[in-house]
Structure 1
Amino acid sequence: MSFEIHLSGDVKEAVAAAVPTLVADLVASGITAQNPTLWGADAEAESSIRLGWTEAVAISRPLVAPILELRDALRAAGVNHIVLGGMGGSSLAPEVITNTLGAPLTILDSTAPGQILAALGDRLETSALVVSSKSGSTVETDSQRRAYEAAFTAAGINPTERIIVVTDPGSPLDKSAREAGYTVFNADPNVGGRYSALTAFGLVPSGLAGADIEELLNEAEAISVELAVDNETNPGLVLGAAIAHRSKLGIVTDGSHIVGFGDWVEQLIAESTGKLGTGVLPVVLEPLSTEVTAGYADTQIVRLVDNAHTHFDNHAREGEILVSGSLGAQLLVWEYAVVVAGRLLGINPFDQPDVESAKIATRGLLDSRPEPTEPAFVDAGIEVRGPAEVIGSATTVREVLAALIGTLPEDGYFSVQAYVDRVANPQLQGIRDQFAAVTGRPVTFGWGPRFLHSTGQFHKGGPAVGVFLQITETAPADLEIPERPFTFGELIGAQAQGDASVLADHGRPVVTLTLTDPASTIETLFAAIAR
C-alpha cells in the first residue's frame, strides 16, 4: 500500500464523526472532478482556477522526457551542480524531493547577501540556475537571476546556456525569458504554488538534479484512484478530518525515509488554512520536542513513520495520527487532505489574502528608503526594537524576551522569524526548542524571507494569538543587485521591517533583535534565553 494512516483516541472519534458527511457530500470525487463549489460561493471564483493539481500526474508526464534530455545535455557540457532560485512552494517541494531521493540540489530561497555570495562562489563554472516563479515577478527570484546573469557573464559563460526558467505561461518572466533565449518550462496555471509539487515547479529542478521524477509520478498515481472514491477509508478524507480536529498540528518525523517533509507540509497547511481569523497552525517538531510530550489540549500530533500500523503496535502512541507512505503518495494525499480540512473549517484553501500585504510594505520601504529607526537599547551587541508597551523598562535582551513571552495568551503560540544567512548560521534554529521549553506553548521557527511566502499568511490571517520575535543581522558583506537601486542587504532589511509593520497593524506583538556580529552574538542570545 502506498499510503497508510492510523488513528487512536479522540482524533479517531472526531474523524469517525466527520467523514460520513464528507462521503455523503461526494467531496472526494468532487475534488477530483474539480468542482469549485465545494468551499462555498465566496471561494468559487478562486477554486475554479486552482484545482489543476488533481490531474498533475497526467499533465506532468510529458515533461519528464524533455527534463531528462536537458539534464543529459547539461551533464555532457560539464554542468554538474544545479542551483534553484525560488520561494515558497517553488523551493520547498524540490527540497524535500531531492533530499529524499538523494539528488544534490542547492536551494537559494533567500535574499541574505551572505547566502547569495556563498552560492555564487560555489562551483560557478559547472553550475546551472533554475529560476522558478509562478507569477514571474517575485522580487527574490528576479534578484537572484540578475546576480547569476552578472556572475556568469563576468566568468565568460553565456547565461542563456546556464539559466532555466519555470513559470506560468504568459507571465512577465515567460515573455522576457523567451525573448532573451532562455530555456523555459511552463507549469499548469490552474495550480497554486503550494500545490505545485508534482508540476513543473517540483519536477524541473528535481529532475535536473538527478531525482527519479518518473517514479515520483508513479507513486502519486498509485494512490490517485483511492483518493477519488467517496468512501470512509479514503485517506484524503480521513487525514483532512484529522488535520481539522484541533487548532494546532505538531508534525514529527520519526524514522520516516522522507527528509524534510515537515517544512513542505507546514507551508501547505499554514497558507491554505490561516485566514479569516481561523486555521490550523503547523509546528515542525522533533521526536523529543517539548510539544510532543507536553500534551497541550489544542495541539494534535501527527507522526511521519515508515510503517504506520507497525509503529503503533510497537509504541502504542494513543491519540496521535501516524502516517506512512511513498513520497509521491504523501504529496498528493496531503494536498487532498488540506483542501478537505479547508471545507471543514469553512475557508477557501486556495487564496492567500494576507501574503500580499508584506510585499506591499516592502516595496514602500524600498521606494521611500527611510532612515533606520534607532534601537530602544543595545545589549552585548544585540540591538532591540519594538513597541514601548512590550519593551517597557527593559534594558537587557533577557528582560525584553521575558516581557514578550508575558504577552502570550493561554491558547497562543510563539513565532521566531530569522532573517539571517541560514547556511552560515544553521545553529540558530536550535532557538526553537529553547523557547518551547521556556514558554510552555507551541513554537514555530521560520527562515526569512522564505516564510513570507508560506506561513506568513497564517501569522496575519489566522487566529490573533501569535507573539513574534524577529531576528535580523548586520551582514558582514553586502551585494549589489544589477540594475536595481537597492542591494540584497537593503532588500532583506525592508522585508523584515515591512513584515513587522504589517504584524503590528494586525495587533500582533513584535520585537526585533538585530545581531550586529552574528558569529558572536548568537551565543549571547542563546544564553539570554537560558537565563
Structure 2
Amino acid sequence: MTASTTTVTVDITDSRLAAAAAPLAARLVEDKVASKITAQDPTLWGAEAEQEAAIRLGWTTLHVTSRQLIGEITDLHTELQADGIDRVVLAGMGGSSLAPEVIAATEPVTLTVLDTTDPGQVADALAGDLTRTVLVVSSKSGTTAETESQRRIFAAAFAEEGIDPASRMVVVTDPGSPLAELATQEGYRKVFLADPTVGGRYSALTAFGLVPAGLAGADIARLLDQATAAANQLSDDSVANPAIQLAAAFGAAHEAGAEKIALTDTGSGIVGLSAWIEQLVAESTGKHGTGLLPVVVESAEAPGFTDAGDDATTVSIGKITDHPGAAAIVTEGSLGGQFLLWEYATAIVGRLLGINPFDQPDVEAAKRAARTLLDGSASSTIAPSAVMGSIEVYASSGVSGEGSLTDLLRQFVATVPENGYLAVQAYLDRQDDASASLLRAELAKRTGVQVTFGWGPRFLHSTGQYHKGGHPNGVFLQLTGAVEEDLDVPGLPYQLSTLQLAQARGDAEVLTDRGRPVLRLHLTDRLAGLAELVRAVQDL
C-alpha cells in the first residue's frame, strides 16, 4: 500500500455545499453522533432500526479486535507456501469479495476473485494450476447461491486432479452458518468464523476482508494500523471530524436534490476503492424511496463527472492536482483509514436520511424470483420481441422494438425521467467481455444523464438494493449473452448459464413490477453483439 498517511481528510471545495453542510455538521456534533456510533449505541437511527443496529455495530472496533487474526492468517499462509500452494482463488459476493479485491490490488498481490456465475469466467479460474491453488469460500450467510455453486465446481475439479478437496478449502463465514457446519463435517483445511455483529458491507476489516488478502500476501497488520491511526479522529464529536464533514455534505446535497455521488479516483494509490464505496453507500442508504446512488466514473475527465448536473455531487479519492476544485469533495488518506471513514460517514448519513443503514429489505426479492425460475415454477423461455443482427431484444414498456438498434436505444433512453439515471447491467464475463464497461461513458456522453455500470450478478449484492428501494427514477439496460461452453453445478439440477440467466430475468421481473423500465439485449454472439451495440450507442 502506497499511502503512509496516518489520518484521513475531507475537503469540501464547493463553498455553497460547505455552507449548507455546516449546520448539519453542528447538529451531528451536538447530538454526539460520532462518539455514540463508536460506543455502539443502537438508538441513533430510530426505534424501527434499533433491533438491527444492536447487532451490526461491531465494525467500529475491528481495528483492535481483528488483530487476533494476524497470527492465524500468517501461519496458514506459511503452511500453504511450504506445501507449494501459492495461488489464491476467492469465491465470494458483495462484501465478501469487494474489500479483499481492493486490498490485494492496492498492495499489489495476486488474488483471483470469483464473484460471478458466468461459465467462461469460472472456467478461466479453473484453468489455473490447481496443484498450486487454495479456494477461499467466503459467505456470511453460508447459503449464497453463487458461492455455493463455485464451491461445488472447484471441489469436483480438485477431485478430478486427484487432490483432496478438503485440503484446499478455506472457509470464512459466520458462526453456526450452514457453510460452517459443512466445513466441519468435511474436514476443510481451515474455518475462520467472522464477527457476527458486522454486516457484510461493513466487513472490510473482518475475516472476510483480511483472510483472502492475507493469504495472497497482503500486509494486513499495516492495514489495521492505518485504521487505528484514523479511529480516534473519526469518533470525535467535532466539526473537524472528516466523517461528520462527509456525511453532512452528502446530507445537505441530498436535501438540495443531489441524490447521486459521481465518484472517481485521482491518483490516490488505492486501486478499486470506488467499487467498494458503491456497495457500502448504495446498499446502506437506498431504501424507502430515498438514498444516495454512487456513480463510479473512470476519471475526472470522464462524462458524468466533468459535466455532472445538479443531481450529483462530485467526489474524488485523492486530490485533483491538474484541476483544483474540479470535485465538490476530495477525500485523502490510507486504505485502512478510508475504509473506516466511509463506514462512519455512511452510518451517519443514514441518520440524516431517516433510514436504517444496516438492513437491505429489497435484496431478497430478486433472489426469490431467480429461485422461482430455477425450480421451474415459472416459464423458463420467452420469445424476443425482435432480433437485430447478433442481438435478441426483450423490450420493456414504452419501447416498440421496431426500427434500428439505435432507434430502439433512443426510445429507451427517452424513458429516463428528469434527474433520473440509466443503469447498464452486464451479465457477462468480467474479463473476456471487459469492453462492455465502455458503454457507461459512451451512454453518459450521448444522453446527458448519469449512467452506472454493474457486472451481474455482482451488482445484485451492491447497487441492487438501491435500484429497487431507492429513488424510483432509474431505467435498466440488461445485457446477457450466449454461452459457448457451460459448466455443470455438481449435485444441483442446473448449469451455471441457467443460474446466470435466472438471476438476470428474476431481477428484471422485480424491477418491472416496481415500475422500473427494463430493456434486455441478449448477445447471441458476444463479440459481434458488443461491437454492434457500441456502434448503435455511438449513433445516438
TM-score by length of 2: 0.96
Deviation, 1:160, is 1.3
1:300 aligned to 292, 313, 317, which one? 313
Gaps of 5+ in 1: none
Of residues 219, 233, 244, the one that matches 2:240 is 233
Change in Cα spacing, 1:84 to 1:318, as seen in structure 2 (3 Å) is: closer
Alignment-derived partner of residue 388 in structure 2: 379
Give the aligned partner of residue 259 of structure 1.
271
Structure 1 counterpart of 2:214: 207
The aligned counterpart of 1:192 is 199
Deviation per CA, 1:390-435: give whole Å up to 9, x if none: 2225233212111110101111000000000111111110010011
Residues in 2 aligned to 1:328 and 1:77: alpha-carbon distance in whole angstroms: 31
Q: Distance in 2 between matches of 1:349 and 1:469?
A: 27
Aligned partners of 1:379 and 1:395 also within 8 Å = no
Q: In the aligned structure 2, how far is the partner of 1:351 from the partner of 1:258?
A: 28
Task: Please tell me the residue identity of whatever aligns with 2:243.
Answer: G
Residue correspondence of structure 1 range 10-409 to structure 2 within 5 A: 10-182=16-188, 183-244=190-251, 245=253, 246-285=258-297, 286-305=299-318, 308=319, 311=320, 315-317=323-325, 320-368=328-376, 370-387=379-396, 389-392=397-400, 394-409=402-417
Counterpart pick for 1:432 among 432, 440, 458: 440
Alpha-carbon shift at residue 480 of structure 1 (Å): 0.3
Q: Distance in 1 between matches of 2:285 and 2:459?
A: 15
Checking the alignment, whether the CA contact within 8 Å between 1:240 and 1:341 is kept in structure 2 is yes
How many residues matched?
525
Letter in 1 for 2:373: L
- Alpha-carbon RMSD: 1.1
Residue 318 of structure 1, CA deviation: 5.7
In structure 2, runs of 5+ residues without a counterpart are 1-5
Q: Which protein is richer in helix relative to its size? A: 1
In the TM superposition, residue 386 of structure 1 has moved relative to its aligned partner by 2.3
After TM superposition, give the deviation of residue 514 of structure 1 in Å: 0.3
Tell whether the 8 Å contact from 2:243 to 2:344 is kept in structure 1 after alignment. yes
Q: Which moved more, 1:517-526 or 1:138-147?
A: 517-526
Task: Report SS of the residue matched to 1:256.
Answer: coil
Q: Is the 8 A contact 2:116 2:456 kept in 1?
A: yes
Report the Cα offset of residue 229 of structure 1. 1.4
Q: Contact 1:377 / 1:395 at 8 angstroms: preserved in 2?
A: no
Letter in 1 for 2:220: I
2:491 match: 483
Query: Which deviations, in whole Å up to 9, do the C-alpha atoms of 1:232-278 show, x marking residues without a partner?
Result: 11111111112332311011101110001100000000000000000
Give the deviation of 1:124 after TM superposition. 1.5
- State the one-letter code of the partner of 1:386: A
Mapped partners of 1:486, 1:195: distance in 2: 33
Q: Which moved more, 1:478-487 or 1:245-254?
A: 245-254
| 3-state secondary structure, aligned to 2:375 | helix
Partner residue, 2:3:
none
> Matches of 2:224 and 2:327 in 1, distance apart?
32
**Residue 58 (structure 1) shift:** 1.6
Matched-pair contact (CA < 8 Å) for 1:105–1:206: yes
CA distance in 1, matches of 2:527, 2:327: 42
**Bigger Cα displacement from structure 2, 239-248 vs 329-338:** 239-248
Deviation at 1:155, TM superposition (A): 0.2
Partner Cα separation in structure 2 for residue 126 and residue 224 of structure 1: 38
Q: In 1, distance between residues paired with 2:19 and 2:96?
A: 36
Which segment is superposed worse, 389-398 or 222-231?
A: 389-398
Q: Is the 8 A contact 1:390 1:400 kept in 2?
A: no
Aligned equivalents of 2:351, 2:107: Cα separation in 1? 33
Q: Which residue of structure 2 aligns with residue 495 of structure 1?
A: 503
**Structure 1 residue 35: Cα displacement:** 0.4
CA distance in 2, matches of 1:262, 1:373: 36
Question: How far apart, in 1, do the equivalents of 2:68 and 2:105 lie?
Answer: 24
Q: Give the partner amino acid of 1:219.
A: Q
Identical pairs, percent: 50
What amino acid is the match of 2:390?
Answer: G
Deviations 1:462-509 (A, max 9, x none): 011001000000011111000000110100010000000000011000
Counterpart Cα distance in 2 of 1:395 and 1:76: 62
Question: Equivalent residue of 1:429, what SS?
Answer: helix
**TM-score where L is the length of structure 1:** 0.97
Counterpart among 442, 445, 451 of residue 443 in structure 1: 451
| CA deviation vs aligned residue, 1:36-93 (integer Å, no higher than 9, x gap) | 0100111111111110100111221001101011011111111111000000011000
- 2:89 alignment partner, SS class: strand
Greater displacement, 236-245 / 403-412? 236-245
Partners of 1:170 and 1:190 lie apart in 2 by 13
Q: Matches of 1:384 and 1:453 in 2, distance apart? A: 26
CA shift at 1:161, angstroms?
Answer: 1.2
Distance 1:390 1:95 in 2: 39
